[in-house]
Amino acid sequence: MCRNNDMWLMHLVSNGPDQQAALADLRAELLHGLRRALATWALVDEAFLEDVVQDALVRILGRLHQFEGRSRFLTWATAIVIRIAMSELRRRRWQDVSLDAVIENVDFTPERASEDDPGPHTQWAQKAILDAMHDVIQNQLTEKQRAVLLAELKGMPQDEIARHIGSNRNAVYKLTHDARKRLKRSLEAAGYEAADIHTAFAE
Amino acid sequence: MTLSKQEISGLMRLIGLTKDDEINCEQCFSLVAEFAERQLTGRSIPEGLKAVEHHLAICGECREEYEALLRALQDIED
């Protein structure tokens, strides 16, 4: 059955056969979309997809009042099921990795940024920017900002960083955003604009 | 251990993209469905959604989820 946004909402909050039919259709649509979205992911099987969709249905029904109609209902619901799935996949991949292990013995000491020979001018520009960046990181960022920034650069998901530091994804984003702003301002104050940085580190 | 070339380049790219005002992951999530539909149908991105585009350039996890959403929607849109 083809439903517009109003029909989805009306049927999902109703009682009886309309609700049952809407739930069955929504479940089928989410499974279909999720299967396609995660087609290339390892560790994804039908049991995983079923579990995620079930979880998503509960969450979607609890958030119907948040749907503002800015998109199609199915698009909104699909975004929810995908976020749940990706969060779970990241959690499984990183569950046995501690934050300490990720950032242990790693520092921001700038070595050469390029394994190729970029030429003396670029090499000099890179070194000057890296030295300035290193100074800011060591002296102007908090320990928490340094740890979070480093963990992110090492590929650790924000959800996992948040779990380790007892926080949430938005708070982790704010920590790194504040760190990036500090780095950018300090580099600009030292005479390095975004264009200089881009030029010096262009692949 | 020092940062690799890729990690340093990644950090520099992020610094270059950094703005004072950025939306966070939750704010991005609340707008991403509309953004995805506009992208898929080739409609213009209004000013209010530019921040989503910028957040997706910065945040690897939101970008990963967005790309998965596009894959899912390609089927729904058919």
Final residue belonging to a domain, choices A42, A69, A94: A94
Q: Of B20, B23, B26, B61, which to mutate for an interface test with A (greatest number of A Cβ within 10 Å)?
A: B61
Are A193 and A108 members of one domain? yes
**b/e per residue A18-45 (b: at least 16 CB within 10 A):** eeeebeebbbebbbbbbebbbeeeeebe
| Mean pLDDT of the region A91-103 | 86
Domain of residue A176 covers 101-201
Sketch the domain layout of chain B as residue ranges.
20-77
Are A195 and A106 members of one domain? yes
> Which positions in chain A touch B52 (Cβ < 8 Å)?
none
* Token duo for residue A146: 């340094």
**Residue range A19-30, pLDDT digits in tens:** 999 999 999 999
Candidate from A50-54, A87-91, A193-197 with smallest mean pLDDT: A193-197
The pTM score is 0.88
Are A44 and A105 members of one domain? no
Final residue belonging to a domain, choices A94, A112, A146: A94
**Residue range B38-52, pLDDT digits in tens:** 999 999 999 989 999
Final residue belonging to a domain, choices A29, A60, A94: A94
* Predicted pLDDT of residue A80: 98
Total structural domains within chain A:
2
The interface pTM score, or ipTM, of the predicted complex is 0.91
Compare CB distances from B69 to A79, A114, A180 and report the shortest one's residue: A79
The C-alpha angle A197, A203, B4, rounded to 5 degrees, equals 85
Q: In which residue ranges of chain B is pLDDT below 70?
A: 1-2, 75-78
Are A87 and A124 members of one domain? no
* Predicted pLDDT of residue A59: 97
Are A56 and A127 members of one domain? no
